[in-house]
Amino acid sequence: MIKKSDLIKVSIDTLGSETSISNIIKGLNTSFLRNDNYFFRLFGSQEQLNHELKKFSALKNNVEIIHCDEVIEMNDKPSEVMKSKKNSSMSRSIKSILETDSQAILSCGNTGALMALSLLNLKTVSSIKRPAIASIWPNINGESIVLDLGANIKSDSQFLVDNAILGTSLASTLLKIKNPSVGLLNVGREESKGNEVLQKTSQELSELNTKGLINYFGFIEGSDISNGITNVVITDGFTGNIALKTAEGTARMIQTFLKNSLKSSLISKLGAFFATFALSSLKEKLDPRVHNCGIFVGLNAPVIKCHGASDHVGIAYAADLLYMLIKGNVNDKIKNNIEKQDSN
């Protein structure tokens, strides 16, 4: 029999996004079946949630519903929702970390509001000044962690060094890499390139590398991300967000080109038929649904933000990630890495 203390418990904000509650519950059920001892606290409409849960009997016995009427909409300003809408599904799901034994949060709602409320209530880990948004990106060698993807438009060297610590902790947890390499995104690999902030950051990371605290590769450029030159890529939120949107657009373009080419003639269609397995593998690697969530890292509890229009596949992937973050004790790794740095 499973003890309550053995359960992995997460809080789910089910309101305020374009995706349907049906998609959310279907996705959670998929993740529930893939992961042992998973339990969900669902914040939203009790009537709608109960209706959807009737379709999934096993999941129904492993959830708790907390009814919420108030919703934070996508166009609500973060500064306003922090003062009002204190009983919203998003606000209450975040506060559940402090008030219950929930260990993490998942939401498809307003990104700015989610970050502001999470920072207000959960605070940052140890000496981390500002949380970052990270994601897992596919590359030709496998996958890498990229951060920051938009949490902080302006950055200083301390923020970027913090990102190296956060990214290293994520890579060891999610990618199972013992000593992840870290690259600092720049306009070129040459040591002389980059602005003053990048130069100072590189110097500080080099010092940490000498002490054996960070496996710092050096500067990398945009093409190195997809080439998988390093396990972790750190940058400021402005550059990271542009890189993210560019990568998403490029992936969709490649999928469209490939789809049109394979339908262009009878020979192409026959070729596609015989290459079904390989094409399915490629489609999976380029599928934006399994790379559509941002990990708010550096807070005192893992928070994942799904795309507002995520389908059940995207929700399931995000729930899987949360499970891995909790099971892998990612915040303990962050604290340990910070303590090692501070002691040196």
pLDDT the model gives residue 274? 61
pLDDT the model gives residue 167? 96
Give percent above pLDDT 70 in the chain: 93
> Where in the chain are the domains?
1-126+298-329, 129-294
Predicted confidence (pLDDT) per residue in 181-202, tens digit: 999 999 999 988 989 999 999 9
**Pairing outcome for strands 303-306 and 293-297:** antiparallel
Q: Residue 164: is its pLDDT beyond 50?
A: yes
pLDDT the model gives residue 83? 85
Predicted confidence (pLDDT) per residue in 210-232, tens digit: 999 999 999 999 999 999 999 99
Mean pLDDT of 10-32: 95
Confidence band of 120 (pLDDT split at 50, 70, 90): very high
The CA distance from 183 to 201, in Å, is: 11
Within 10 A of 49 (CB to CB), how many other CB atoms are there?
21
pLDDT the model gives residue 1? 45
pLDDT the model gives residue 276? 65
Contact between residue 115 and residue 78 where contact means Cβ atoms under 8 Å apart: yes
129-294 maps to CATH 3.40.718.10: yes
Work out the mean pLDDT of the chain and round it to a whole number: 90
pLDDT the model gives residue 231? 97
Assess whether the region 1-126+298-329 and the region 129-294 belong to the same CATH fold. Answer: yes
Q: What CATH class has 1-126+298-329? A: alpha beta
pLDDT the model gives residue 320? 95
Within 10 A of 166 (CB to CB), how many other CB atoms are there?
28
Q: Residue 2: is its pLDDT beyond 70?
A: no
Confidence band of 283 (pLDDT split at 50, 70, 90): low
Mean pLDDT of 93-103: 95
pLDDT the model gives residue 272? 61
Mean pLDDT of 163-177: 95
Mean pLDDT of 158-177: 95
Confidence band of 162 (pLDDT split at 50, 70, 90): very high
Q: Residue 290: is its pLDDT beyond 80?
A: no
